[in-house]
Amino acid sequence: MLFGLGAILLVAAGIACWRASRAASRSASALSAYALDEADALQALASRLNEHGFTLQHTSAELSPKLSELGAFLERPLVAASLPWVLRRLFGRPLKRRS
């Protein structure tokens, strides 16, 4: 009688372990497929970043000398003092008078 009960428990435990291993295998394959999809998306994003990064670097190389010339021009005291007046005239706002 004791041997029969032990065999039944052994069979039940074996079935439970087999079901658990199947569930773990399904979860692992789903996780693997998800990781593969995410890796593909990251690879596409990295290639787009590399492409646009090269374009941005090229644009920066062209704009840097022009910006440094503009910066040297704006550093002059007369230009810096007249800049608020010019901006007000460009935007159509009258000069505020202090009373």
pLDDT range class, residue 2, cuts 50, 70, 90: low
Region 2-27 average pLDDT:
87
pLDDT attached to residue 37:
92
Tell me, yes or no, if the pTM score tops 0.95. Answer: no
pLDDT attached to residue 16:
92
SS (H, E, C) the chain: CHHHHHHHHHHHHHHHHHHHHHHHHHHHHHHHHHHHHHHHHHHHHHHHHHHHHHHHHHHHHHHHHHHHHHHHHHCCHHHHHHHHHHHHHHHCCCCCCCC
Indicate whether 57 pLDDT > 80: no
Q: Compute the distance between CA of residue 54 and CA of residue 47 in angstroms, rounded to an integer.
A: 11
Residue 50 amino acid letter: N
Indicate whether 17 pLDDT > 90: yes
Indicate whether 51 pLDDT > 70: yes
Q: Compute the distance between CA of residue 74 and CA of residue 78 in angstroms, rounded to an integer.
A: 9
Indicate whether 53 pLDDT > 80: no
Mean residue pLDDT across the chain:
83
